[in-house]
Structure formats: C-alpha cells, structure tokens
Structure 1
Amino acid sequence: MAIRINKYLSEVSYCSRREADKLIKEGKVTINGEIPEMGAKVEVGDQVEVEGQIVKKSTKQKNIYLAFNKPIGIVCTTDTRVEPNNIIDYIEYPTRIFPIGRLDKLSEGLIFLTNDGDIVNKILRARNNHEKEYIVSVNRFISRDFIQRMSNGVEILGSTTKKCFVQKLGPKKFKIILTQGLNRQIRRMCDSLGYRVQSLKRVRIMNIKLDLPTGKYREITKAELLELNNLLENSSKTFE
C-alpha cells in the first residue's frame, strides 16, 4: 500500500513528519533517484534515500524512549550541520533518535527523544490536549490580573490561546499548564501582557515529571511508558 513520503520516514523511525517535510522541501529526499514533490507516495519496492543514504526499516530495531533535561543554549534540531549546539550532538546517543517537539534555545527542562515516529505524531497533535507543565520567572511582580488573563487566553499569532491553568508561586514566578504548543507560546503570552520571561523550565509532559540533573537523560521506564500509552490510546495520529 502506498503511503506519503513524510509518513514513511516517520514509520521507519528516521525522523518526525515535521522534520521529514523540511528535508523534502530542501530536496534532500529521493524516491528511486527522483526528488519528490511534497505529498508524493512511496510504493512497495521503492528505494528511498536521504542525502544519498538508503532509508529502510530495520527488523531488529528497538524502540527508544528517553527523558532529557535540556540545558539553556541547546537547540532542539536534528540538523547537526546547521546548528553546532544541537540536541543530537549534545546527547551523543549511539542510535538515531529525534526530539518530540521543541524547547527554544533560551528555555530548559524536560523533552522526550525517541526513534518511534508513531508516538511523536500522537503527542504533537494539539487537539489531543496533552498537558505540559512549566515554571516561569518574569521581570515584574505578578498581579491577579496577569494570572486571570493568562488563564483565560491571550491573543498571539492572530488567535487566542486556549484557557489553561496558571498559579502564582512567588512575587515573580508562576506555574502554567498548557495543552497546546504554539511557537514560543509562553514568552509571547507574557510579552503581550507587558511582562518579559527571565527563565522558563518545562517540568512535566503528561505523566512524566522532570527528575534529572541539567544535561542528563534516562530511559523512560516500562511503567511510565505503559501509562503514557494509556493516555495516548484515543489520540489522533493525523497530521494537522
């Protein structure tokens, strides 16, 4: 059965669909020696290559699931040639893996890495409402109005953010739990209300909490993975 090239690269655990789309746009992917258009399909027996290297699923491949405490300054990209401070070179994991989602360069905290494209697509779909928790410090004293407005939704990037849980933790520190992942969302929300983020740390993704020193990673446990899969059971994999 023919499948879209970005889905193929995801299913053979080469990269996420989003990364695949980028590679296709850059002309780095070929099907039977030809550079495909976006949305082209792969048939049984086709030879797919990325930058001249044949890509196919290994029957012996083991799925890898890592939790990593990303330091400030590390970039969540798999393109090791473009960005020297990238997450892949930093971790130096012996098997090809890729991050699930992103944390911007100035942010730190929990991020997952895997070679399982299926779980990537389920977690990243915004409509699946999977929680991500952050601790944020800002440059001004936090008012009751700020908490209410952050909770009820803030207009950024031409739309209003979803309602979310926000709790004041200190004069200039708060906790926020999001179920969507717009680009630099928390920073943009704060900016729109006249606050500037000074530190931002992700401390939880769904059922998995940050419990690692900065710069360290660990395997997600079988119990954590079982609970994670239960939470993902009814999640859509459709790329939006």
Structure 2
Amino acid sequence: MAWTRTYDEAEPQRVNRWLAQSGVCSRREAETLIAEGRVSIDGQVVEDAGRKIEPGQTLVLADAAAGPGAAPAAEVFSLVIHKPVGVVSAQPEGKQIPAARLLTRERLWGPAAPIPDPKASLPPLGRLDMDSRGLLLLSQDGVLAKALIGPQSTLDKEYLVQVAGPITPRKIALLRHGLSLDGRQLKPAKVTEIGNRRLRIVLTEGRNRQIRRMCDLVELKVVDLFRTRIGPLRLGDLPEGRWRPLTAEERAALIAT
C-alpha cells in the first residue's frame, strides 16, 4: 500500500528533507527511493533528488513491499508509545532522542512481544513535537498510515492542554472556528474548558505545531500538551516512556473508522 501525504507547510521544501522530517526514512534513503522511481508528486514521478514539493501538492511513496529489500509481512511493526517530553517523534537532529530509541525489551509494557530492529524505519503516524507528550503510534503499515494521515483521513485526535493566560468565551469561540494558519482556514475544532486553565481540544487535522500556534493566536501560552486519543485508540494506562504492540483489534478499528 502506498504512503500518501499532502504537503501543508508554508514554504517549498526538498522532498528528501521532508520525508526525513516525517520519519519515513533518512535523507539518503529518500534519495535512493527517488532513484528507484518510487516517489511521485501529483501523479508525476520525481526524477531529481533536489526536487522541492510545493504547499498543497500530494506526494505518493510506492509500497516498499513491492521493491527490493522489502521486509516480510511478519516483520511489519505497529507500536504504541507513551512519548515523554524531550523525545522527538521522527528523525532526530544533533543529540535529540528519537522515540524509536524507547523500543527496548526493558520498556515493553505487557506480554512478551518481538522487539524491532534498532535500524528499522518506523515513521510516526501523526507526530508529537519534542515539548509534547502522550499517545504516539509508530508503524510500517501502509494501510494504517493511509487511515491515520492520508488526505482522506477523518480520524480525530484528542489533547489535554494546560495554558497560561485567561481563558475567555471569545478565545474559545476563535479556537473552535475562526483561526487561520499559513494563510489557510483551519477546520473546526472541538474545544472545551475543563477547569484550572485546562482545555480539551479535539482536532481532525494535524498541521505543524497546530495547537501551540492556535493558542498563540488567542494569547494563550501552552504549558503542557498531552495527547490522549487517536480515533478509537486511547493511551489508557500505558506508563510514560513505555511501549506496547498495537493489537489486531485496535488496527481494525482504526482502519474501519
């Protein structure tokens, strides 16, 4: 199954850099995928490793399972992590700690399970920035990726957000519907004040650092951002810094939503 995503950043970006930032692969691996003809933008195969993707364009990465070096189906991992603050979802820069480094036997929560190869590519299906925590899903499953982050995905994501600054009815109304980022109107959000300067925010899109930027626009500073749910998948009692495999039932529910 192909990996598909629409580029929603404000400025054009080199394809290999964007794929690396998205946690799909390293820049060098992206260049190899381009050379193999697996990458296309708006239906046109990318031939130049220096090609940039423009805002609004859709990139498709052909299923690696169809190409050389593909992993057997039994080695496809889908993993649930309770990401702590200070850990990055995708490719690290400098001394940053990637979420994949948490995938050790010592940090496994629950029954015994296969441990992924430390060198395996495990892209995040919906990133959390380094300063945020909570539910993170890493997966090599193209069907699951399409359900969670594909252009037609309707899965919502729920966050508990601690803010600094006064919360007013006008600010909540703007957060729900009325804000734009990078010159584009945001989709409606469900925003509820739950006391002690805390908000419950449910989104159906995942723009870069969206909640933090939304709050900035209404003069609220995010102090803590905690993702508790992706569609029907809940973080539950998974301890911070621990991980477990996604169950077959959870996968089916995510795909069916």
Instruction: Check whether TM > 0.5.
Output: yes
TM-score range, shorter chain: 0.7 to 0.9
Q: CA RMSD for the aligned pairs?
A: 3.4
Write the mapping of 1:1-240 to structure 2, written as runs, cut at 5 A: 18-19=22-23, 23=27, 27=31, 29=33, 30-31=35-36, 36-37=47-48, 55-59=68-72, 61-77=74-90, 79=91, 82-92=94-104, 93-95=115-117, 96=120, 97-211=122-236, 212-231=238-257
- Does the CA-based 8 Å contact 1:110-1:202 persist in structure 2? yes
Q: Using structure 2 for the length normalisation, give the TM-score.
A: 0.69
Conserved 8 A contact 2:147-2:254: no
TM-score (norm. length: structure 1):
0.74
Alpha-carbon displacement from aligned partner over 1:26-58 (angstroms, at most 9, x marks no partner): 7455449xx95258998xxx9x7xxxxxx5223
The runs of 5 or more residues in structure 1 that have no matched partner are 8-14, 49-54, 232-240
Q: Deviations over 1:48-73 (max 9, x none)?
A: 7xxxxxx5223353432211110000
**Conservation of the 8 A alpha-carbon contact between 1:64 and 1:115:** yes
Q: Secondary structure, in 3 states, of the residue corresponding to 1:191? A: helix
Q: How many residues align?
A: 208
CA shift in 2, pair 1:148/1:89, >3 Å: same
Gaps of 5+ in 2: 5-18, 38-45, 50-58, 105-114
Bigger drift between 219-228 and 143-152 goes to 219-228
Q: Which moved more, 1:61-70 or 1:20-29?
A: 20-29
Task: Give the share of equivalent positions with the same residue, in percent.
Answer: 26
Q: Distance in 1 between matches of 2:162 and 2:73?
A: 45
Shift of 1:144: 1.3
Cα deviation 1:142-192 (Å, max 9, x = unaligned): 111111111113122212211111110013101010000010000000001
The answer as to whether partners of 1:134 and 1:177 remain within 8 angstroms in 2 is yes
Alignment CA distance shift 1:72-1:148 (3 Å): same
Residue aligned with 2:48, SS: coil
